Structure 1
Amino acid sequence: MIPEDVPVIIWVLLFAILFTQATWLFVDARRRGFNPWFWGLWGCIHFPLPFIAYWLFKRDGLQVIKNLFNRSNDNE
């Protein structure tokens, strides 16, 4: 299928999904201090991987990183 064969409604839906995802990622990352431009731009060009990665990062990843730093500081 070439881009000219894709119905306009599909392009509109794709744009709406990407724009909504990018906006949400940017706003939430800025509120939490997680490189908002990176998350917003990545969310603007891919779906749904940036959303899934951000969800895992903000939920578990940050806690894992904090635990690693706390363990290394406790050993000193």
Structure 2
Amino acid sequence: MNELNHLSQGEIWVLALVVILLICQSTWLFIDARKHSRFPWFWGLWGLIQSPMPLLFYWLIVRRGLRKPQV
């Protein structure tokens, strides 16, 4: 807890923005994966602990995988 006393005002704002970004990313991944029946808990949890790799992999694996090749 002593480390938090040494954070500047700018560092606290950056930390808060990162937390909000991760929660938004995780929520979107969970909801969209649930719509497509693609392991929503996996995508939601992974999106909560890391960024932007889960989002990129989700778009490449799940979203692009849903498209059928056009003839």
Judge same fold: TM > 0.5, yes or no.
Answer: yes
Q: Distance in 2 between matches of 1:60 and 1:31?
A: 15
Aligned AA (1:18): L
List runs of 5+ in structure 1 lacking aligned partners: 65-76
Q: How many residues align?
A: 63
Q: Which has the larger radius of gyration?
A: 1
Q: Distance in 2 between matches of 1:59 and 1:9?
A: 33
Q: How does 1:46-65 map to 2 (within 5 A)?
A: 46-61=50-65
Query: Identity rate of aligned residues, in percent?
Result: 43
Q: Structure 1 residue runs of 4+, over 6 Å off?
A: none
Aligned AA (1:55): W
Aligned to 1:29: 33
TM-score, normalisation: structure 1? 0.71
Which structure: greater helix fraction? 1
How much is the aligned-residue C-alpha RMSD, in angstroms?
A: 2.2
TM-score, normalisation: structure 2? 0.76
Q: Distance in 2 between matches of 1:14 and 1:59?
A: 25
Q: Match for 2:14 among 10, 15, 18?
A: 10
Q: Deviations over 1:21-40 (max 9, x none)?
A: 00000000001000000000
Aligned to 1:39: 43
List runs of 5+ in structure 2 lacking aligned partners: none
